[in-house]
Every structure is written in structure tokens, then in C-alpha cells.
Chains A and B, each alone.
Chain A
């Protein structure tokens, strides 16, 4: 068994197991999350990607040292193990191509997102049917929240309404807010306007009792992105629509609807808040 990659936001310490799933084992040290993940799950800022047998070997404790990792009783050297760089650093961005690619992403999400996701917010009219079922009311709330995405100031209020909304261990609304934060990071890159305070306000409003949610919200606010999201951003910035669709597909395949929800938050924010100078 080998360690394939360690995220750049994995810090030394002893972590205790929080939850186990087929592709990931989550560990916590206070509020700090580290996830031991399979190769299929991919790389991320707080992910340790293990080769075959890694998750099976995962015990109740994970220790991260400066030059080693300990899973249960087994120690692995860190020397030579790839450190995943989670910052998004685009080269020159072709603005025209970006517009075309955003349209391709929107089209892809509308056609391929699971019915439980918030991607419906990209469809005009959805959430206004008056359906009184749980789903119908959820869509109406989502629509009301998304209607606030008109300016930076209203964005904070809008994101508060998405907090904890919908299905999933990490609720759809929280994934959506992570997408909003990622989009604000993208806008900063493109228009040079610092949005640290805004992102901080949104992240603070999104924190709750779920440490998994708190972790990925903080990471998104800080501009530390997992691999599938980074790949999509690279695709949007510099590739053709076909490649954007392919990368969108990889993101949509993440979780039950998390990938779609995140992409929807990203896209809605970019569409509504990009200015003339971006």
C-alpha cells in the first residue's frame, strides 16, 4: 500500500476518526478535518490519497508528522509523496472563450444534474410552481435565495438562506455556498477586486455543527480547491466547450448531488456578478 498524494492543507497532528465511507475515512482534530480517500475520490487540500488497501488499513487514529504519516500501526514516509497544490492559478484567461464555456457548463448542468440538486436554479420558472411538498417548498426557498444574487451586499443574505438547505450529508445548500465562494475567488482573479471580507462574511454565516461542511466552506473561502473543481475552472478559463463538458461531468459525478450543487453555485454567481471589467 502506498500514499499517493497529500493535500497542501493537511497539518501535523493526531486526528481521530469521525466517519467512514466507501471512498473516504474522515478524521478530525478539533475543527480540522483530514480525509483519507481512495484514488477514485481524487485529490484535495485536506485529502490524503491512498493506494490499494489504504482505506481498509485505516484505523481510528491518523497521525500526520513532518516527515511521516501513521495509519493505525503503519508508518509511511512523506518523502517523495506528491503534495497537491490546491490553489487555482490560471494563466491568461480568454474572456470570450470563458463566456462560451459558461454557456456550455450551464447547458451540461441542466441536462445532467440529478433531480435532487440545486441546478434547477439555472432554469427560469423553477421553484415558482406552488408545489407544497417538501421538494416544492425547498425549490421555492432556493429560488427566493437565488433571487438575492444581484449584488455583493445581497449575496451574504442570499447565502444565509442556502445554509443547511436540502438533502445530503453535506446539504445541497452548503455545497452551493461553497460554489459561490469558489466563484468569488475566480472573480478576484479576473477583475483584481479583493473580496476577502465578503467571503469571510459568507463563510461565517455558513458555519454550523457539521464539521465536514465547516471544513469545505473554509477551504472554498480560502481559495483551496479540490482537483475536480480546479480542473473545471481550468477548463472554463482556457479550453473548448467539449472539454468543459467532460470536466463538468467529472465534477457532477462527485457525491450524490454535491458536484452539481457546487457547480450551480459557481455558475449562478459568475453569471450574476461578473461586471464589465472582468
Chain B
């Protein structure tokens, strides 16, 4: 096979650039092998053994960069070297271009964009609180994506923000839609009459997507960060968000999304919404709906119902019709479950839920708890079901791969699927697994090719099971709209082509899973 190469002397590229270039070259079609390495003696010996050492490399030293490609024919081999040069030049140009000044302080940013009234902060947690306070002192609303901010600092920020009439969304706020603009992990939803206040990122995404997919729109979707509704913070921004939407002329229906707030916060929320004339829908995942109902809100029992109720109210329709429609769907789901379960081998009975969205994971846990009993999890609803080894499932297990233990030193699982892909295949090896359940979250900030990336492991998992005489059901939900950059339609097709069952919401996917596990005797 022809080999082409290039030696670069006196030019230095950082290791990340070299790694990315090497990966690109090996993925080129027709390439048998390609390397990008420094010209050390050891590397030259391996190049020689691999048939990649050219004569011009022989006198290279440790500081020379050697690029080598072996391919099916001369043209491809030459294109490897051309591509390497292109990528290395691009990396230099990016560095040169970034000689344009990018502000790295609030002051600098405000100077660059006078008139901005909001700042989005994503810096290391130990600095984030001070940066946020600086922004508030300049009269800016804050969205604080950073986590690892102390609870004391969060309270200080929110009390100050409240006193100034400013929003503080976060810390650890990953999702918001403000004036039609999706921020951080968020979906493209048209503007409309429904406002959301959420202490839950994927909860906000799921509800806003359901609303958007039904043809309605979002006025504002305000995230507060998950700790806001705990006792220490007292729901400061949750309450301010409700008041802001109550006063907003574009908002006609208000949706509240949260895990169960602290009792005193729940009481304050109840008091606040009593004075609001607009309809309020509340989904408190796992919480007692009575307080909200007593205050006049419509309590939904899952995220899907919350979105559908809000849509009905926005259209002036009676939400009672929703239950009828969902009951009909449940009938279909039961039939589908029976068909799936009927193909399975004896012994297959358990669920393995692998989630990138924490709230979606919790919703599934709750649906199981309400019907079949608690499931194992690193963050279980029932503490008796704590998964001892987070890397090893047992019985019915659901895992939120976005939790800290899984994300140290790596991107969030909504972006980087590496851990989840490995785990899908691992779970498929367990003969007791009946269902693998996955959430697929689209939108800005998320993985741009989720269908493509998940298709491989889904196929591999199903084949592994099939080779052992088992039928494995892989069930996916998609949180996303048709306007999201990933193309919901394309993702759905890719997943279905790989053999997955795709349901429109996490609630529907979880319902199907529950039914299958029930039939299989998983609990």
C-alpha cells in the first residue's frame, strides 16, 4: 500500500490539536493507517515496523512532527497529508483569529455590548458567585450555568437580585427561554402564551417541547436552578418568576415545574398563586398535589400532562379531554407491550434506564414506584434501593448519567454519549434485561448527531441479545421539536432504523416500559 508523509520542523502544535488531527486522518475513507507523532526514536521505530517510516523521517528529532498515511492508493495517501496540513493550518488560524478581543470580564463584556440587560455566566464555580454579583451590581439579570457555588452565596445573590428586581437563574441552571431565545441546553419553540417557571432543566425542556409540538408557544421559560425550592433558599427566584409571569401581558397560562419543594416553599408558592388570575398548571415531580390544588392550580401527574393541560388552557379548551385521549393511548401501549413481551425469552424481566436528563430519570422512577415498586438508582426515591456500585446495575435500575459521579472530567451526557454507549452494550449482555430505556434530548447545546451515535450501540445491543436467543426492547423518548438543530424527524428515523421503539414523550416511553416489565414479572 502506498505511504505518504510530511515532516514539520520548528512548528509546535498542542497535544489536543495533534490528537484531533490524528483522529480525523484515521477516519478518512480508504485510509489503512495514519499517524501524527513527534519524531522520537521510539516513535520512529514503531513507524518503521508499521511501514510508515519514510526516508525523510530518519534524521528527525524529538521536536519534529511526523505525519504519515498509508492508504488504498496514492491519491488517497496524498489526500491524507493534504488534509493534515489543512487541519493544522486551520488550528493556527483559529488561534490568530482569536486575537480579536473576546471580553473575559463582566466589565469588558458590558463595554462590548452596551444595552445588554442579561448575562450568562459559565465559569469555574469558585469564581462564579463573585462574577454573578458583579453582574447584578451593574443592573444585569443573571443566568448562572456554573455549579459548585455555595448555598450561602446562592442565597446572597438571590436576595440581592430580588431587592433590585433582577432575575438570578441558577446556579446550575442549564435551561431557559427568554424573549424567544433558547439559552444553554434549550429547544427551539415558537413564541406564544404559555410561561414556565422551572427548578428543573430537562423538566423545562420536556414541557416546552410538548407545548411546541402541539402548536402552541412559550412567552418566557425561567429556570431557577434545582436548589431554589429547597429550604435554604426558600424558593426566592421561583416566586419571583411566578410574579414576573403573572405581570407579563404576553403570558396567559403559567406552568410550574419542580421536584417537590420544601414544605414552607410549597406553602409560599400556594399563597402566591392564590392571587393570580391566570390559570396555573403545576407539576411537582413526586410531590403531593393537594397544596397546589387547594391554591387553585391544576396539578398534573407527569410532565406530558402538564404540557398538554397548558395547551388546552391556552386554547380555551377543557383539559378533561386530555385524560380520555391518554386513556386510548394507554390501551395501544398495553397491546404494544404485550407484543414486545411475548417475544422475550424466559428470565428477561428487568428495566435498565440510562438517562441524560435528571428530571426524566426521576419521572420514570416515580412511574415505576407508583405501579411496580421502587427501582435501584444511584439517587433513588427510596433510600433502601441505593445502587451500591453505580457502574453495575441490578434488577430494575435507572441511572442519571448527568450526576456528578459520571461527569467529573468529561462533558455532560447530553453532549458526550461515550459512557452511555458503553453502558447500553454492557446492559444488553445481562440475560435478565427486558428493556433498555433511553432519553434523547435535542436542542442547542446537546449532541448534534444523537440518532447516528446511538444507532450503533442499539444495533449491537439488540444483536448481542438476539445471538443469545433473546429479544431486547430498546425504548427511546425524544425531547425536542421539529425546529431543533438536530432534526427530530431524522433522529427518530435513525433510532427506528436501528431497531428502537420511539415514543413521543418520556411519560409514554416509561408507561410502555412499565407494562412490559409488569408482563415479564420484573417486580
A residues apposed to B, CB below 8 Å: 18-22, 40, 52-53, 56, 107, 111-112, 114, 116, 132-134, 137-138, 141, 161-171, 173, 208-210, 213, 242, 245-246, 248-253, 255-258
Residue from the list B41, B43, B409 in contact with A250, Cβ < 8 A = B409
How near does chain B come to A270, taking the closest CB pair, in angstroms? 20
Are the CB atoms of A168 and B47 closer together than 8 Å?
no
Are the CB atoms of B50 and A166 closer together than 8 Å?
no
8 Å CB interface, B23-50 against A:
32-33, 35-38, 40-43, 46-47, 49-50
B404 surroundings in chain A (CB, below 8 A): 246
Residue from the list A22, A137, A250, A256 in contact with B49, Cβ < 8 A = A137
How near does chain B come to A88, taking the closest CB pair, in angstroms? 21
> Contacts A53-B104, A111-B391, A171-B43 hold; do A164 and B15 have CB atoms under 8 A apart?
no
A242 to B40 CA separation, bound complex (whole angstroms): 38
How near does chain B come to A145, taking the closest CB pair, in angstroms? 9
Are the CB atoms of B13 and A169 closer together than 8 Å?
yes
Are the CB atoms of B50 and A137 closer together than 8 Å?
yes
Are the CB atoms of A164 and B12 closer together than 8 Å?
no
A65 to B91 CA separation, bound complex (whole angstroms): 34
How near does chain A come to B154, taking the closest CB pair, in angstroms? 21
Are the CB atoms of B95 and A245 closer together than 8 Å?
no
A166 surroundings in chain B (CB, below 8 A): 37, 42-43
A171 surroundings in chain B (CB, below 8 A): 37-38, 40, 42-43
Are the CB atoms of B408 and A245 closer together than 8 Å?
yes
B38 surroundings in chain A (CB, below 8 A): 164, 168-169, 171, 210
Q: 24 A-B Cβ contacts within 8 A?
A: A20-B95, A21-B14, A112-B409, A116-B19, A133-B33, A134-B35, A134-B68, A164-B38, A164-B43, A166-B43, A167-B19, A167-B22, A167-B36, A168-B38, A169-B18, A208-B62, A209-B63, A248-B408, A252-B409, A253-B409, A256-B14, A256-B16, A257-B19, A258-B15
A52 surroundings in chain B (CB, below 8 A): 104-105, 108
* A24 (CB) vs chain B CBs: closest residue: B14
A168 to B18 CA separation, bound complex (whole angstroms): 6
Are the CB atoms of B18 and A209 closer together than 8 Å?
no
> Contacts A138-B46, A141-B46, A167-B22 hold; do A208 and B40 have CB atoms under 8 A apart?
yes
A171 to B40 CA separation, bound complex (whole angstroms): 9
Are the CB atoms of B405 and A255 closer together than 8 Å?
no
B residues apposed to A, CB below 8 Å: 12-16, 18-19, 22, 32-33, 35-38, 40-43, 46-47, 49-50, 52, 61-63, 68, 95, 98-99, 101, 104-105, 108, 124, 391, 404-405, 408-410, 419
Residue from the list A18, A114, A138, A164 in contact with B41, Cβ < 8 A = A164
* B64 (CB) vs chain A CBs: closest residue: A209
A213 to B62 CA separation, bound complex (whole angstroms): 10
A18 to B12 CA separation, bound complex (whole angstroms): 9
Are the CB atoms of B408 and A256 closer together than 8 Å?
no
B14 surroundings in chain A (CB, below 8 A): 21-22, 169, 255-256
* A138 (CB) vs chain B CBs: closest residue: B46
Are the CB atoms of A255 and B47 closer together than 8 Å?
no
A198 to B391 CA separation, bound complex (whole angstroms): 39
Residue from the list A56, A111, A257 in contact with B419, Cβ < 8 A = A111
A167 surroundings in chain B (CB, below 8 A): 15, 18-19, 22, 35-37
Are the CB atoms of A256 and B15 closer together than 8 Å?
yes
Are the CB atoms of A116 and B22 closer together than 8 Å?
yes
Are the CB atoms of B15 and A257 closer together than 8 Å?
yes
How near does chain B come to A195, taking the closest CB pair, in angstroms? 24
* A247 (CB) vs chain B CBs: closest residue: B408
A168 surroundings in chain B (CB, below 8 A): 15, 18-19, 38
A166 to B46 CA separation, bound complex (whole angstroms): 9
* A163 (CB) vs chain B CBs: closest residue: B42
Are the CB atoms of A209 and B62 closer together than 8 Å?
yes
Determine which residue in A20, A53, A167 has the highest number of CB atoms from chain B within 10 A of its CB, and name it.
A167
Q: Give the 4 A-B residue pairs with the shortest CB-CB distance, closest first.
A: A164-B40, A249-B409, A249-B408, A256-B15
Are the CB atoms of B13 and A134 closer together than 8 Å?
no
B409 surroundings in chain A (CB, below 8 A): 112, 248-253
How near does chain B come to A258, taking the closest CB pair, in angstroms? 6
Are the CB atoms of B42 and A161 closer together than 8 Å?
yes
A161 to B16 CA separation, bound complex (whole angstroms): 24
B37 surroundings in chain A (CB, below 8 A): 166-167, 171
A269 to B520 CA separation, bound complex (whole angstroms): 49
Residue from the list A22, A53, A249 in contact with B410, Cβ < 8 A = A249
Determine which residue in B63, B108, B124, B419 has the highest number of CB atoms from chain A within 10 A of its CB, and name it.
B63
A210 surroundings in chain B (CB, below 8 A): 38, 40, 62-63
Are the CB atoms of A209 and B61 closer together than 8 Å?
yes
> Contacts A134-B35, A137-B50, A210-B62 hold; do A163 and B15 have CB atoms under 8 A apart?
no
A163 to B44 CA separation, bound complex (whole angstroms): 12
How near does chain A come to B3, taking the closest CB pair, in angstroms? 11
A213 surroundings in chain B (CB, below 8 A): 62
How near does chain B come to A264, taking the closest CB pair, in angstroms? 15
B98 surroundings in chain A (CB, below 8 A): 22
A134 surroundings in chain B (CB, below 8 A): 33, 35, 46-47, 50, 52, 68
A168 to B17 CA separation, bound complex (whole angstroms): 9
Are the CB atoms of B15 and A170 closer together than 8 Å?
yes
Are the CB atoms of B12 and A165 closer together than 8 Å?
no
A138 surroundings in chain B (CB, below 8 A): 46
A250 surroundings in chain B (CB, below 8 A): 408-409
> Contacts A112-B409, A134-B35, A213-B62 hold; do A169 and B43 have CB atoms under 8 A apart?
no
Besides A169-B18, A242-B405, A255-B15, 14 other A-B contacts (C-beta < 8 A)? A20-B12, A20-B95, A53-B104, A161-B42, A163-B40, A164-B43, A167-B19, A168-B19, A169-B14, A169-B15, A171-B40, A213-B62, A249-B408, A249-B409
A253 to B99 CA separation, bound complex (whole angstroms): 25
A168 to B65 CA separation, bound complex (whole angstroms): 10
How near does chain A come to B16, taking the closest CB pair, in angstroms? 4
A170 to B12 CA separation, bound complex (whole angstroms): 11
> Contacts A164-B38, A171-B43 hold; do A246 and B408 have CB atoms under 8 A apart?
yes
How near does chain B come to A169, taking the closest CB pair, in angstroms? 5
A171 to B35 CA separation, bound complex (whole angstroms): 13
A252 to B418 CA separation, bound complex (whole angstroms): 15
A258 surroundings in chain B (CB, below 8 A): 15
Are the CB atoms of B42 and A141 closer together than 8 Å?
yes
How near does chain A come to B474, taking the closest CB pair, in angstroms? 22
A161 to B409 CA separation, bound complex (whole angstroms): 29
> Contacts A169-B14, A210-B63, A213-B62 hold; do A256 and B19 have CB atoms under 8 A apart?
yes
A253 to B49 CA separation, bound complex (whole angstroms): 32
* A114 (CB) vs chain B CBs: closest residue: B19
